[in-house]
Amino acid sequence: MKTALTTVATACVLLVLSLSATLAADDWNGDWESRFGQLRLLENGDRLYGDLADKAVIEGRISPDGRTARAVVVYENGSWMLVEWRRAQDRIAGNWASSGDGLPTKKNGQSWTATRMSARTSLLKFADQFVEKYPTIDTVFGKGPAPAWIAEIAGPSPTASVEPSAPPAQRTEPREGLSNWYASFSLDQLTPAYEADLDVINYRGVERASANIVFSVYPGHPCPATMNTGFCDELGSRADERGYVRAETTAARIGPLPNGGEALWVSFRLPGDTFDRLLLITARDRASIHHPTRGYDYEGTASRRTHICERAPCTRDVFDEARRENRHANAAGYQNFIYALPNRIAESRRNGRPEPQRTQGQRKPERPRSQMSDAWVILDETSENLGTISIRQDGTRLAASGELNGFFETGRPHETQFSERHSTREAVAFDLTVSAGSSGERKSGRLVVELPAYRGDNPRGTLIVGEEIFLVSLVRPMQGMEPAEVGDTPAIGIYSMDYLLTNVPAGKTLKLRKEPGRSASVVGELSAGTAGLQMMKCEPEIDSWQFEHANPTDRLAMLSAAWCQVTNGRFAGWLPGRYLKPMDH
């Protein structure tokens, strides 16, 4: 069991608290990860419904304060169980009981916890926004205590009707009354450098609209003539690892143009913005993007096509968003002000700094958040391997998965769930849950790490698991090394010296293998005379005490009888020990 670094506990906890402001939504919507599978949940009034992975449908009710839900989970084969969950922002905790075990309580139920990974619910496979799917044909459910128990939380008995308890306005067919603005758009004259796609939903006679904007960036091409060079630079610097820039829509409406005609007015922000930009598409498919100080950032046309919801399934919430009361009616004045600013697109090329010309295949400089996207080994201050974490960019957030070591007496790595808690420009905090395996024992904690300023940096931070606190560094495994192999080596014997690659003809190279043996795959090559190689391990193992006290001839003999793993600082691999010579020899 690890020893906690209690001397730094206070400082570490303060660091965690400084980053603990939550961005959680105060509802049940989203994708939640649990040990029983992913929960895809939607909240509609007092109704809670959704899917459990690819296994079952969830149907239930929510308490008036929105904190407790009772539901039935119905599997495809007709079997079911009851659950009672309590929600605290992005965490769910509760109990479940199978159909033959009565109502779920702490006494006769089993625990079920989940952590929200996304505030947007993925597509549902089993649940239906129009029909409540209680197992009423099963008399054990229909005539048992379950319906009344669920109804006690909020509203009428779930067996009373197959209609959802949604507001009347939401019981209509979602496509009824859609206007001509219900479409997907692509901005023209941007390729091959950029793409801009917009999905719009609007109903006849309703000013409010919903709009989803995504930009795609393709490095290696000059800024199009239709765009301000400043806007090109901003898109390039804010794209994620996949080249996406997902805009946040702050207001969307259908309104008149100053010179007559109708247009779609969308206020939006790019990641990092503190102000609103404007995207405008007219009824004649003229399009423009406007900046509050630069004026026009883009001027061109838009191509209209069938809405994405006609080409792929969409949940009811996507349509309900466009029906809600327009909370952004006061945006019209600001939008008209930005729209009236002059067009300086051509001027941006004459007066601006020379535009950098990227060659095909040349990548744009990475930003700190994108530099976190990698597989990392977590090392403590003594370089002991505490586990692994793989981080990837998921929209505007960071998603992570991994394993931790040594927090339970299981003799193997512990599966660990990570979820981004909060982030700033300097650091990111992940909530974590470590599982012991079949015993069901768990520990919760947090990992807080700084964002690296450069690609080669090893982020430092604090790992808290239960009551144990560690100062840690994240290290990328070198090519040819497994994550479990990263860590400290003893500073004695075979590990206490550097090595020279010997017995290789001048001008030739020696291949390093992924594993001991000539049939293993090649991970790299070393040139004759390479010096400063660091020893990682040997097979069969060489006794460090004997090696340290051996004479030079015996040391070479020990090496010649083994395969050894070495690194040059860029990659690591195995080679026959006869090619190694201690540099103090």
Q: What is the pLDDT of residues 357-376, one digit of tens each?
A: 444 444 444 445 667 888 88
User: For 178, which DSSP code?
Assistant: B
Nearby residues of 235 by Cβ (< 8 Å), 6 or more positions away: 194, 215, 217, 245, 270
Nearby residues of 42 by Cβ (< 8 Å), 6 or more positions away: 28, 29, 48, 49, 50, 121, 124, 127, 129, 315, 316, 317
Percent above pLDDT 90 for the chain = 18
pLDDT digits (tens, 9 = 90+) for 430-466: 999 999 877 888 999 999 888 875 545 678 888 898 8
pLDDT-derived band at 482, boundaries 50, 70, 90: low
Q: Which residue, chain included where needed, has tokens 């998965």?
A: 401
pLDDT score of 278 more than 70: yes
Range 40-49 average pLDDT:
90
Among 257-271, 323-337, 431-445, the least confident range: 323-337
Among 293-307, 330-344, 519-533, the least confident range: 330-344
Q: What is the reported pLDDT for 353?
A: 46
pLDDT score of 534 more than 70: yes
- According to the per-residue pLDDT averaged within each range, which of 11-25, 368-382, 558-572 is highest? 558-572
Given a contact cutoff of 8 angstroms between Cβ atoms, the answer to whether 290 and 299 are in contact is: no
Q: Kind and range of the H or E element at 394?
A: strand 385-394
Task: Give the Cα separation of 438 and 411 in Å (integer).
Answer: 13
Pairwise pLDDT comparison (211 vs 159), residue with the higher score: 211
Q: In this structure, what are the phi and psi dihedrals at residue 31, rounded to the nearest 5 degrees?
A: -100, 125
Residue 147: helix, strand or coil by DSSP? helix
Among 23-32, 312-321, 390-399, the least confident range: 312-321
Among 12-16, 336-340, 535-539, the least confident range: 12-16
Task: Give the Cα separation of 307 and 60 in Å (integer).
Answer: 32
Fold adopted by 30-154: Lipocalin (2.40.128)
pLDDT-derived band at 584, boundaries 50, 70, 90: low
Task: Give the Cα separation of 395 and 418 in Å (integer).
Answer: 16
Q: In terms of Cα–Cα distance, which of 482, 121, 146 is closest to 316?
A: 121
Longest dimension (CA), the chain: 94
pLDDT score of 24 more than 70: no
Task: Give the Cα separation of 111 and 104 in Å (integer).
Answer: 9
Given a contact cutoff of 8 angstroms between Cβ atoms, the answer to whether 216 and 235 are in contact is: no
pLDDT score of 157 more than 70: no
Given a contact cutoff of 8 angstroms between Cβ atoms, the answer to whether 225 and 285 are in contact is: no
Residue 413 tokens read as: 């790595």
User: For 492, which DSSP code?
Assistant: S
Q: In terms of Cα–Cα distance, which of 15, 11, 16, 45 is closest to 28?
A: 45
pLDDT digits (tens, 9 = 90+) for 172-211: 577 888 888 999 999 988 878 888 889 999 888 888 888 9
pLDDT-derived band at 310, boundaries 50, 70, 90: confident
Q: What is the reported pLDDT for 563?
A: 94
Give residue 272's region: left, alpha or beta (phi > 0; psi -120 to 50): left
Range 270-281 average pLDDT:
88
Residue 545 tokens read as: 């005490």
Residue 28: helix, strand or coil by DSSP? coil
Pairwise pLDDT comparison (534 vs 234), residue with the higher score: 234
Q: In terms of Cα–Cα distance, which of 371, 280, 276 is closest to 328?
A: 276
Range 218-242 average pLDDT:
85
Q: What is the reported pLDDT for 457?
A: 61
Report the CATH number of the 489-582 domain.
2.30.30.40
Q: What is the reported pLDDT for 39?
A: 94
Range 108-120 average pLDDT:
80
Nearby residues of 80 by Cβ (< 8 Å), 6 or more positions away: 72, 73, 74, 99, 135, 138, 141
Given a contact cutoff of 8 angstroms between Cβ atoms, the answer to whether 526 and 517 are in contact is: no
Q: In terms of Cα–Cα distance, which of 519, 521, 512, 531 is closest to 571?
A: 512
Range 131-151 average pLDDT:
85
What's the full length of the chain, in residues? 585
How many of the other CB atoms lie within 10 Å of CB of 27? Answer: 15
